Amino acid sequence: MILSKFVDELPILPVLKPRWKDSCHTYYEVNMTEFKQSLHSELNDTTVWGYEGSYPGPTIEVESGEKVFIKWINNLPAKHLLPVDYTVHGAHLDVPEVRTVVHVHGASVEPESDGYPEAWFTKGFEQVGPYFTKKVYRYDNYMRACTLWYHDHALGITRLNVYAGLAGYFLVRDQQERLLNLPCGQYEIPLIIQDKSFNEDGSLYYPRQPDKPVPELETSVIPEFIGDTILVNGKVWPYLKVEPRKYRFRLLNASNTRFYRIKLDSGQLIYQIGTDGGLMEYPIGVKEIMLAPSERADVIIDFTNLEGKNIIMTNDAPAPFPSGVAPNPNTVGTLMQFRVTLPLSSIDTSVIPSYMGPLPKLREQSASKIRYLTLDDITDQYGREFMLLDGKRWDAPITENPKLGSTEIWHLINLTTDTHPIHVHLIDFQILDRRAFDVERFKKERVIHYTGPSIPPEPFERGLKDTVRANPNQVTRIIMNFDSYTGLYVWHCHILEHEDYEMMRPFVVIR
Ligand SMILES: [Cu+2]
């Protein structure tokens, strides 16, 4: 069954209204529920999970410095919508099957409100995980304007909870950004890109077994999930009618495993203005944008003088990345279509600024700690390949313990054949470089022998980042300052099938 492209209009995600708001605080309540939603007009309605009855969840918009409190409420059924593997960490039979905990990805937040994977809770908070401390999360939003997102992070079932629909945008705004006169209002549209597969009856398909099944298990985690259909804002291959003018789009890859290399089939430039952590110093005009799972790009597309044109946003990233097959242009090689068919409703006075503001640059000399951290693959008792960080499982004692206020450089030494999007909670980092090294020699001698020059980050990565692509056969270096909170956080691969099966580690910021 191949669904027709460009038959449904792109949904514009609703903005969440607070329960109450005064000059000091804002309070939201967000319910997680199961419901049916139309994901394509040729498909029966699909049972999904969402926030406040919406998949993807409504956009939460806050001002920099605004004190926001959110009560995340689990009203989901006791039985999971998707097949649970009870052998992976945190998902054993001694815990309830449906657990949730919400993480605002990219936020600097106190540890009790960061959504620690073992701080989960069930419907009505009847049962809670060992690290659960409170029902109402607090977000101080000290960050500058940036493009964040919220999603579920429960240990051992994050891949299933997010795939079922638990993800949405969390935008931070500030005055500096407003003064730039970027396209705004109806001309600023957040886009959430995900891949999914469907059963004939319209229900979500998620494999119960990997390609090489594990006969001992009824359900087994899979090494990666690659869907055969692309959804933007919860619709399969939608179209958007636009005016001949500039638009600002936030792009988010909220897929489990799939990477996207995004282009416009008109060949026109995309003007990137921001990375994960907010605006860059200068906009850059690019022909393509690479997004690994959880990465964001803030872009301007100019449809001026393109009246009557149809422009398709395409993807040519292999899946799995980088060694997999190129996407079929008729299916997963297509994301959505822009139709420049609306009349210009007013003169476009928005701008692509020439300069957006200074970015603090962390100097290598300021680092007080250098860490060397491997990305490894090993095999479990069922013959399944799985991934580790620094050779350690989730439950091993904490080894990353940066001091409050200190600067660290982490070497991510990838010994596997996949690119892993490595996400560090709490802080934004900067990418220093990537450099080829001899993997086989490293495995024998545990010493890095570089085989190529240091490669600077791509132009579209030269801003604040919270997720970095660590490529095979390379050492990727990131630099960061732990200047905000002390306490317990996590860092992990954002391929959700990896994260759920041991490719995640706690870290603690100490005083
Ligand atoms: Cu990974």
Confidence of residue 225 (pLDDT cuts 50, 70, 90): very high
**For position 2, what pLDDT does the model report?**
86
Confidence of residue 39 (pLDDT cuts 50, 70, 90): very high
User: For 319-375, how does the pLDDT look when each residue is reduced to its tens digit (9 = 90+)?
Assistant: 999 999 999 999 999 999 999 999 999 999 999 999 999 998 999 999 999 999 999
Going from the Cα of 352 to the center of ligand 1, the distance in angstroms, rounded, reads 35
User: For 228-243, how does the pLDDT look when each residue is reduced to its tens digit (9 = 90+)?
Assistant: 999 999 999 999 999 9
Going from the Cα of 8 to the center of ligand 1, the distance in angstroms, rounded, reads 33
Dihedral angle, C-alpha 317, 275, 17, 143, nearest 10 °: 150
Going from the Cα of 416 to the center of ligand 1, the distance in angstroms, rounded, reads 9
What are residue 193's DSSP bridge partners? 232, 253
**For position 35, what pLDDT does the model report?**
98
Distances (CA, A) of 88 to 31, 377, 479: 27, 16, 31
Going from the Cα of 42 to the center of ligand 1, the distance in angstroms, rounded, reads 34
Residue 210 pLDDT greater than 90, yes or no:
yes
User: For 363-372, how does the pLDDT look when each residue is reduced to its tens digit (9 = 90+)?
Assistant: 999 999 999 9
User: For 260-287, how does the pLDDT look when each residue is reduced to its tens digit (9 = 90+)?
Assistant: 999 999 999 999 999 999 999 999 999 9
For residue 231, give every residue at least 6 positions away whose Cβ sits within 8 Å of its Cβ, in sequence order, or none: 39, 193, 194, 195, 196, 237
Residue closest to 501 by CA, chosen among 391, 383, 381, 388: 388
pLDDT (average), residues 292-315: 98
Going from the Cα of 144 to the center of ligand 1, the distance in angstroms, rounded, reads 29
User: For 432-482, how does the pLDDT look when each residue is reduced to its tens digit (9 = 90+)?
Assistant: 999 999 999 999 999 999 999 999 999 999 999 999 999 999 999 999 999
The full DSSP string for 113-171 is GS--TT--B-GGGSSB-TT---SEEEE---S-SEEEEEEE--TTTHHHHHHHT-EEEEE
- What's the rounded Cα separation, in Å, for the pair 21 and 60? 14
303 with 328: CB under 8 angstroms? no
Going from the Cα of 427 to the center of ligand 1, the distance in angstroms, rounded, reads 20
Residue 305 pLDDT greater than 80, yes or no:
yes
Going from the Cα of 370 to the center of ligand 1, the distance in angstroms, rounded, reads 22
**For position 348, what pLDDT does the model report?**
97
Residue 59 pLDDT greater than 80, yes or no:
yes
The kind and range of the H/E element at 443 are helix 439-445
